[in-house]
Chains A and B, each alone.
Chain A
Amino acid sequence: MASRSRAVFSTSIVFGVLVFGSELACAQRAATIVIATGQEATLPIPTLISGTGNQDVADLLFLRLAALGPSLRTAGDGGFVPQLASSWQRRDSVTLVFDLDPAARWHDGVPVTAKDVVFTFTRARNPATGGHLAPAIRHIVSVSAEGARRVVIAFDRAYNEQLYDAVFHVQPLPAHLVGTVPDSLFASSDFAQQPVGNGPYRWGRRVAGQFVELTAVADHFLGRPHITRVIFRAAESPDARLIMLLSGEADASEGVVPPLSNLERLRRHKDIQLHTVPGSIVGYLLFNQRSPDDLSRAHPVLGDARVRHAITLALNRHAITRSLFGDFGDVPNGPTPQIFWIRGLAGPAEARDTAQARRLLRQAGWRDSDRDGVLDRNGRPLALTLNIPATSASRRQMGLEIQEQLRGLGIRVELSILAIPVFIERRNAGRFDMEIAAASMDPTPSGIRNSWSCQSVGVPNANVGGYCDPRVDSLMAVALTTSADPAPLWKTVLLQIRDDAPAAFLYAPAKVVAIHRRFGTVTLTPWSPWSTIYQWTIAP
């Protein structure tokens, strides 16, 4: 009997310690926010960044010269708010001058100077060290310092997104700490492991595979952050992120929809509130206009704009988008995510019109001559393969709906679910008929040139469908350089792309962000939701 009592007592002690051990950390909770993210931040260093996990952390550590304001208008000089630069002015049509805020400091106490900005732009403009930044700032011809606080940036041409290019892509690095590190060792340097930034939060620690912790800079020149600790907790599985939110192990997470089933669970939770911001993603059914067997020839089926347009009209894109995103997504009229200020210029997307789709296919010579339910031409059935990345459950669901809807029109679609590396390998090699692709875009509409211009045909991960319309190219060139309002030109660009039908644009979702109710004054920036977290408050 005594031994049984001892066993029960010991078990109770162990159980109690395990269960109530959670109290140990509770005291730390109040002024801390734990953000569940899908990607681990392994290298949140400007010029080395890849992936949103790194960018989210870098945006709190490293400020830009200026940030894009709430209008999201990238053209002209009016839509920006100061960050490292307290003011800026135009010296002439190709020169911008920035005056740095004298209160801006690196986290080691050293003032941020023009030398830091010049140093970082030099790195960023060099394709060997700047990676993907170099093409984005290709129109910048020189960056120079005038004294300790003034930076002069010169461009090779006049265009209306100069300020955007000068401030959005490059986040200055501390020259006094990075300047001595050889380029080849930068990614593995001490600085890369323990970055020193100038933002409202400083580097705390990283526990590999688990989380990154940042701590507030109490005397930051942009204001004292109310939230004293920010923890980015990585969980690749969307289920794991949902569990974190529901169990209270995380306070916030973005991208909680799709699946729509998450919504009900989160709405039922008394502590969680849902916020939305314009999303940066646009998804589409891409048509390969080049023959997969010989890229120099037109695709035997999809080379014809009438067939592409017919497929677009045959799809009930609103139903597809609604089934995935509910009220949080819409059908774009072109390659325009919600963050583009030009979205909506070309009016709503075309509605489903199967009669017109059938007419277009008949005009293109496709008929069901053998009555087998599949259209054919010269003995060849209208059969196409649709490539889908295996990792995306949403795109798999979309693929099934597209397959079913096109079957009704007499088009046979075979789904090919591929591992991501295989999917990307095939798209870059042009070995596909159709694919469901999604692009995450910067706020500038000039990004359209990456995938929908003649000059980007053949560039890996760019215009893999081989779409080329010189009219679109020249219209975009004028829209980007005009000193007048570029909106009418962008409208024409979008309408022309719609008529060319290089893709059936399917969805442009909003970003749905779940945040604990104890945080107030919540503002979210569309391209980096957490970058204004230093302005949030905490309920008493």
Chain B
Amino acid sequence: MRRWIAGRTAQAAVTIAVAAVLMFVLMRVTPGDPLARLMGDRPMSAEEVAALRALYGLDQPIPQQFTRFVSGLARGELGVSIEYRIPVTTLIRQRLPASFLLGGTVLVLNFTLGIWLGALQAVRLGGRLDRWLSTLSLAAFAMPSFWLGLILAWLVGIRWHILPALGMIDPLLPPDAGVVVRSLDILRHLVLPALTLSIVSIAATMRYQRTAMIEALREPYIRTARAKGLPERHVIWRHAWRTALFPVITLFGLWLPIVVTGSVFVEHVFNWPGLGSLTAKAISGRDYPVIMGASLLAAALVVGGGWLTDMAYAWLDPRVRHAA
């Protein structure tokens, strides 16, 4: 088992390294000048442009740029943002809490409500609740999140004035406000973006969980459990649900990166200061250091999510554990 874990971990590390090399090279062969945003619409002398290229190491060949990046990485540095002119690590540190908060909330809502509602549908298969939830989840799944976000912002923020439509904190709140007041303020700002992202993601999880649960409930061991006279609640939650969790665990691994990357559209609509919008802006402006920092983080989470899924499978399923 230990060898299997070590092998999986090594595999994950190699995957991240390969992804980093690929991202580094692809970024530099993509057309577009990373100094474009700095230039804006004002003229720049050739000397000024050359000085900026030298400052960011853009005047060096790609292998040398990569060496510089790797040596920085070894020191825990990701370079300096071309757009913001501050270290990328600082920039990521500033944006990460917002991403964690939004992504974490969505993940928790998604996998608690989604799993519960999906299982409930399967248990009441064909009933009114199942039909209603199926219709609702399909409608939610088909809804583009940016559109839903705009509608919610308009309705709740502009028409009803009951929740803030944008941002993460109210700038009018005094800086010395107490922890409770500040937490409440963040919570109020979190509602709409979290709701927008959750509605769509819960719908997906519900669909997965419902299908898996229906299949599990048709298995012979469920019939056996019922024949043995076990209480129905026991049959459903201890026997069927545990098996039906496997596809959702895979889904969890796939959703994990959202904690960091967020949703670009939702961050954009609600002006949420997360890493997603920062990365999107960096990509459109070719801010190489920021793109590399954010992509590495995302790659690590994607690979980490896969690794966690494997571990969870091994823990939950004795067949996987013994094979390992």
A residues near B, CB below 8 A? 17-19, 21-22, 24-26, 28-29, 32, 34, 42-43, 48, 50-51, 127-128, 131-132, 135, 187-188, 204-205, 207-211, 213, 231, 233-237, 239-240, 243-244, 246-249, 391, 419-425, 428, 438-440, 450-451, 456, 459-462
Contacts and interface: CB of A to CB of B under 8 A. Distances in A.
Given A18-B191, A208-B273, A421 B163 contact: no
A215 B39 CA distance: 31
Contacts of B38: 50
Interface in B123-174: 150, 153-154, 157-158, 161-174
Contacts of B71: none
A209 B185 contact: no
Contact of A25 (B37, B45, B84, B173): B173
Given A235-B271, A450-B43, A209 B161 contact: no
A420 to B, nearest CB: 6
B41 A135 contact: no
Given A34-B171, A213-B171, A237 B40 contact: no
Interface stretch (B102-110, B215-223, B245-253, B279-287): B279-287
B185 A21 contact: yes
Contacts of A422: 31-32
B171 A240 contact: no
A461 B44 contact: yes
Interface of B: 31-34, 36-49, 51, 84-87, 91, 94-95, 98, 150, 153-154, 157-158, 161-175, 177, 181, 184-185, 187-188, 191, 268-271, 273-274, 277-278, 281, 284-286
Contacts of A26: 172
Contacts of B269: 237, 239-240
Given A28-B172, A237-B269, A247-B153, 18 more contacts: A18-B184, A21-B188, A24-B173, A51-B40, A132-B48, A135-B45, A209-B98, A209-B274, A233-B171, A236-B281, A240-B269, A244-B271, A247-B166, A419-B32, A424-B39, A425-B33, A439-B41, A460-B39
A42 B86 contact: yes
Contacts of B46: 459-460
A420 B284 CA distance: 7
Contact of A18 (B169, B174, B188): B188
Max count, chain B CB within 10 A of own CB: residue among A29, A210, A456: A210
Nearest to A420: B36
**Chain A binding site: helix, strand, loop or mixed by DSSP?**
mixed
18 contacts: A22-B170, A24-B170, A24-B173, A51-B40, A209-B94, A209-B95, A210-B167, A210-B168, A211-B167, A213-B175, A233-B167, A243-B165, A244-B166, A247-B158, A421-B33, A421-B285, A451-B43, A459-B46
B286 A421 contact: yes
Max count, chain B CB within 10 A of own CB: residue among A244, A246, A249: A249
B280 to A, nearest CB: 10
Given A243-B154, A248-B161, A462-B43, A42 B85 contact: yes
A233 B171 CA distance: 8
Max count, chain B CB within 10 A of own CB: residue among A231, A240, A248: A240
Nearest to B84: A42
A249 B166 contact: yes
A240 B166 contact: yes
Given A420-B37, A450-B43, A28 B94 contact: no
Given A132-B44, A420-B37, A422-B31, A207 B169 contact: yes
Contacts of A207: 169, 171
B85 A424 contact: no
Nearest to B150: A239
Chain A to chain B: the 4 pairs with minimum beta-carbon distance, closest first = A209-B273, A421-B32, A462-B43, A424-B36
Max count, chain B CB within 10 A of own CB: residue among A24, A132, A204, A207: A24
A208 B271 contact: no
Nearest to B85: A187
B95 A208 contact: yes
A439 B203 CA distance: 47
Contacts of B91: 208
Given A239-B150, A440-B41, A24 B181 contact: yes
Max count, chain A CB within 10 A of own CB: residue among B44, B181, B277: B44
B9 to A, nearest CB: 34
Given A21-B185, A243-B158, A131 B95 contact: no
B172 A25 contact: yes
Contact of A428 (B33, B177, B285): B33
